[in-house]
Structure 1
Amino acid sequence: MMEYSNRNITVSVILPVYNEEKYIEACIVSLLRQDFPQDSMEWIFVDGCSKDNTKQIIGSYKQKYPNLIEVLDNPNKTVPYAMNIGIKAALGKYIIRLDAHAEYANDYILKCVHYLDTTDAENVGGVAETKSRGYVGKSIALMLSSKFGVGNSQFRTKGKSGYVDTVPFGAFRKEVFEKYGLYDERLTRNQDNEMNFRIRKNGGKIYMADDINLAYYCRDSIKGIVEMAVKNGKWNVITSKLCPGAMGIRHFIPFVFLMSLIIMSILTFMMPILGWLFVAELGLYLLFDLMFSIKSASKVKYIPFLLILFPIFHLSYGFGSLVGLIRGNMIR
């Protein structure tokens, strides 16, 4: 085998990881099946001080593939720090940012490189099939694949190839980071949205190809999806404050919905005649809830749980934005 330092690296894959022992092995196995030549790749795992067996699992694969796998430490723990550590260490012409919660089609890396070479996009990504385990997890996956659940998020709702505002993770030429700068380390979340906004604001394009495929494993419990929704909602507000324009209108619809319920409740209490507006709003939401629960369910057994999941997710997301608005100066 050639020495690592003498290899002609074309692609640097960067994976921020933290406590991923449930998912990391399947992720690595999917990378080992890639059609792209291993001799032309390096995989840089940037570990945020994992407390489980994540690093040991990666280490066992590093022993088998020492010229392919590199493990770096991220004492700051968050994704933007991890990405910047990886980018600075990367040797490749292309930077492909991946997530350990996912498995990738055999041609994922090959097609990312193909579209970077054949389009004028500065970031390329694909379509994510949301998966999970168990009845609750599969119900959550169905909700997160619905336009009623996540809005017009093309990569989550099986959108068609074309130019978009954001893609999952992303594949870049390395010079993109020299041109636009590294990831914003202030952002615990939404760093991908901010990076893509910065590219678009400066005249660059983001391309989503519907034949670039990955399977993303979402939360598999009510507690997990509520925590995710609250944090996402909170960081949408914080990101908008730190980086105006980085977040789209769709990110704040749950907040508007929650506030409308609160305001209409107060107005109805003060002026009972307005109660019909409140009832009309609730009735319309429940109608959409029923319609999309039926439409989203792959099997009848998921419909009752989806009826509950949609409002739980929307209200939790909206509550997170409210928290972010109230505590906007307390960035964590």
Structure 2
Amino acid sequence: MHEALGAADLTPTEGRQLVTLIAPCRNEQGHVDAFCDSALAQQLPPGWRMELLVADGQSDDGTRARLDARAVQDARLRVIDNPGRIVSTGLNAALAAARGVVVVRLDIHTVFAPDYVAECLAALARSGADNVGGPWVARGQGAWGRAIAAAFQCRWVVGGARSRDAAYEGEADTVYLGCWPRAVFARIGGFDEQLVRNQDDEHNLRLRVAGGRIWQSARIRSWYVPRASLTKLFAQQYQYGYWRPFVMRKHGQPGSSRQLVPALFVAALAGGVLLAPWWRGPLALLLASYALYLAGASLAAARQAQDWGLLARLPAVIAAYHLGYGAGTWRGLLDVLLRRRAGERWSRLTR
């Protein structure tokens, strides 16, 4: 057994009882108050206190003014500048200003249970891991948002990822958001600022390669609000897929083999289309097989969500997940092979 990368005594003592909550933010005027309410309402264990650092990426919709006003009302909140305007630069800016012995990452579009941070601290102490977190549980808004959340949570859509299993407790490849002893960042560094997406997966992969351990706890509860339209979902998944080859180039491996499946499907689909003028059999077989899969996966997702009214939307939602991610992966791979820098289109956030 190796010694945990961030091994630290988490017993509150003078000078070591501060936990830092960090969150990147840009143009979230409609969500920032609900986020601050959820974060500042955390009920900490005895002996602990917290600070909340929000890294604002030069918001121009009134978000910064609202954050500044909240910071005046509550000294626990500090607003940090993020001139890089993307998630990774925001996280690193907040890390540089963090004073806590433990760092907990939060997300503006997530609602947190009142004991979220307390359970993170308990999981760190219980597991001795270098990063702990809870399952990635989605709660959609509106008809399309609920369908997107149902597909997001279904193992037949996302490939059985443990991060979507709300009941799982144990070792994991990655967790939603994360909570680390601050010493972990001194050992393996912060987040890769070359990555607009997948910076969390890359950081967890880097941690595991360095011998670190990641732990998922079902007691750490939060609820993520996904995109609420097909176009926004496709754009999000395209970006996630686009940045995957950049992570693979850095480490020589994907975070997980299941992340390659959408790209393989898109390649097979493209091959079938190219062969169709001479041989329609492969394309017909592929489309028929995928149609059967969509029907079965839609039934499974609707049943799990206990909402049969989603059935009409789920096939399109599931296809958007797979086609967006797969097509994005191939575009990213092309740019990696041609050694091209990512264009502005792939560097913009899609919320």
After TM superposition, the score normalised by the length of structure 2 is 0.87
Residue segments in structure 2 that go unaligned for 5+ positions in a row: 1-13, 344-351
For 1:246 and 1:294, the matched residues in 2 are separated by 30
**Within 2, Cα distance between the matches of 1:295 and 1:54?**
39
Deviations 1:255-303 (A, max 9, x none): 1001001112323433x3xx44433322222112111211212322210
CA shift, 1:149, in A, is 2.5
* Structure-2 separation of matches of 1:18 and 1:7: 32
Q: Counterparts of 1:294 and 1:53 in 2: how far apart (Å)?
A: 42
The CA distance in 2 between the partners of 1:59 and 1:8, in whole Å, is: 27
Letter in 2 for 1:74: N
Inter-partner Cα distance in structure 1 for 2:252 and 2:105:
24
Q: How does 1:53-202 map to 2 (within 5 A)?
A: 53-66=62-75, 68-202=76-210
1:283 aligns with 2:294: no
RMSD between superposed Cα atoms in Å: 1.9
Q: CA shift at 1:221, angstroms? A: 1.2
C-alpha distance in 1 between matches for 2:29 and 2:149: 20
Report the 3-state secondary structure (helix = DSSP H, G, I; strand = E; otherwise coil) of the residue aligned with 1:22. Answer: coil
Distance 1:44 1:308 in 2: 38
Residue number in structure 2 paired with 1:324 = 332
- Distance in 1 (alpha carbons) for counterparts of 2:107 and 2:320: 26
Other-structure match for 1:206: 214
Deviation (angstroms), 1:312: 2.4
- Given that 2:19 and 2:48 are in contact with CA atoms closer than 8 Å, whether structure 1 keeps it comes out as no
Shift of 1:144: 1.2
Q: What letter corresponds to residue 191 of structure 1 in structure 2? A: Q
Q: Measure, in 1, the Cα distance between the counterparts of 2:74 and 2:237.
A: 38
Check whether the contact 2:22–2:105 (CA below 8 A) recurs between aligned residues.
Answer: yes
Question: How many percent of aligned residue pairs carry the same amino acid?
Answer: 29
Gaps of 5+ in 1: 1-5
Most deviating of 50-59 and 188-197: 50-59
Cα distance in 2 for partners of 1:290, 1:39 equals 50
Please name the residue that 1:229 is paired with: 237
| TM-score with structure 1 setting the length | 0.92
Cα distance in structure 2, aligned partners of 1:269 and 1:159: 49
Asked if 1:292 is matched to 2:297, the reply is yes
Q: How many residues align?
A: 323
Match of 1:3 in 2: none
Contact 2:23 2:54 in 1 (8 A): yes
Match of 2:271 among 255, 260, 263: 263
Q: Is the 8 A contact 1:193 1:246 kept in 2?
A: no
Q: What is the CA–CA distance in structure 1 between the aligned matches of 2:52 and 2:17, rounded to whole Å?
A: 10
CA distance in 1, matches of 2:250, 2:173: 19
C-alpha spacing 1:21/1:299, structure 2 compared with 1 (3 Å)? same
